[in-house]
Amino acid sequence: MELTLGFSPCPNDTFIFDAMVNNKIDTKGLTFKTQLEDVETLNKWAMQGKLAITKLSFGVYQKVKDQYELLNSGSALGRGCGPLLIAKKDIPHDKIKDVKIAIPGENTTANLLFSIAFPEAKNKEVLLFSDIENAVLDGRVDAGVIIHENRFTYQQKGLVKIIDLGEYWESTTGSPIPLGGIFIRKDIPDEIKQQVDDLIHESLQYSFRHYPALSSYVTEHAQEMDEKVMRQHIDLYVNDFSLGLGEAGKAAVDRLMSVYA
């Protein structure tokens, strides 16, 4: 049985899915047609029910919960791993509502966390996450919400952190930060859902056993990213919650979902 599977080309996702999609483990008759896309593209596709299995921002979960359910394995969730608000120079928090902010997608968890911290800030521009640093440097926007590997590069470009939006979430809720998860369409048979969940768990275990070695699948999709940054990326976003959400992880997701209520 072939299933469509979407995730990002970022090292945390390719690290998780490498063994599963490249026949390094026994997939027990399942094959996967992969689509590697920016997570905001995947978020939009999910609202159309396009893929059978997909990485999604938890920020879009409420909009797709009638079509998709969250799997236990593969999530990006933890502490100290949230998005950052950065700029060329410090901006007082009470002035954020008056400036133009680049966000990495309307449906991203990053935008949701920013909106929780700064509900009055409405002047936003959606940009591809990898373009946000340069947009701030060029003056197209006054500040930007950065995710992924940009957490490790913004200081090298002379940018400054205004606030760690993940720290804000943790300090106000006490919960770890739910960034993204792996979702499967509800019309997939239950036994296949469980099989996929188990395979993601096994695939990640395979990668952990070989870490800190990086497979060609990870390095090729990371393009020009330095291997040190790739490992920082994996270390930050892949953890025990990725192997299985557990009660603490599920409670954190429920807490984030309560923001919509």
Q: Which residues are annotated as a binding site for substrate?
A: 55-57, 109-110
Strand partners, 70: 183
Supply the residues annotated as catalytic: 148
Alpha helices for the chain (secondary structure H): 11-21, 39-46, 61-64, 109-117, 132-138, 165-173, 190-210, 216-221, 227-237, 240-243, 246-257
Which residues does residue 144 pair with via DSSP β-bridges, in sequence order?
86, 102
Q: What is the CA radius of gyration of the chain?
A: 18
Annotated binding site: 55-57, 109-110
d(CA 210, CA 117): 39
Instruction: Give the number of C-alpha atoms closer than 13 A to the C-alpha of residue 238, restricted to the C-beta side.
Output: 24
